[in-house]
Chain A
Amino acid sequence: DAMVIQNPRYQVTQFGKPVTLSCSQTLNHNVMYWYQQKSSQAPKLLFHYYDKDFNNEADTPDNFQSRRPNTSFCFLDIRSPGLGDAAMYLCATSRLGSGALGAQYFGPGTRLTVL
Chain B
Amino acid sequence: AQKITQTQPGMFVQEKEAVTLDCTYDTSDPSYGLFWYKQPSSGEMIFLIYQGSYDQQNATEGRYSLNFQKARKSANLVISASQLGDSAMYFCAMNRPGDYKLSFGAGTTVTVRA
For chain B residues 73-114, which have a beta carbon within 8 Å of chain A?
A: 89, 91, 95, 97-98, 100-102, 104-107, 109
Interface size band for B = 20 to 34
Interface size band for A = 20 to 34
A100-B50, A106-B45, A109-B44 known; A41+B106 contact, CB < 8 A: yes
For chain B residues 41-97, which have a beta carbon within 8 Å of chain A?
A: 42-47, 50, 52, 89, 91, 95, 97
Q: Does B25 interact with chain A (Cβ within 8 Å)?
A: no
**Residues of B contacting A115 with CB < 8 Å?**
none
Which listed segment binds B: A13-21, A42-50, A66-74, A75-83?
A: A42-50
B47 touches A104 (CB 8 A): yes
Q: How far is the CA of A41 from the CA of B43 in the complex (A)?
A: 12
B43 touches A109 (CB 8 A): yes
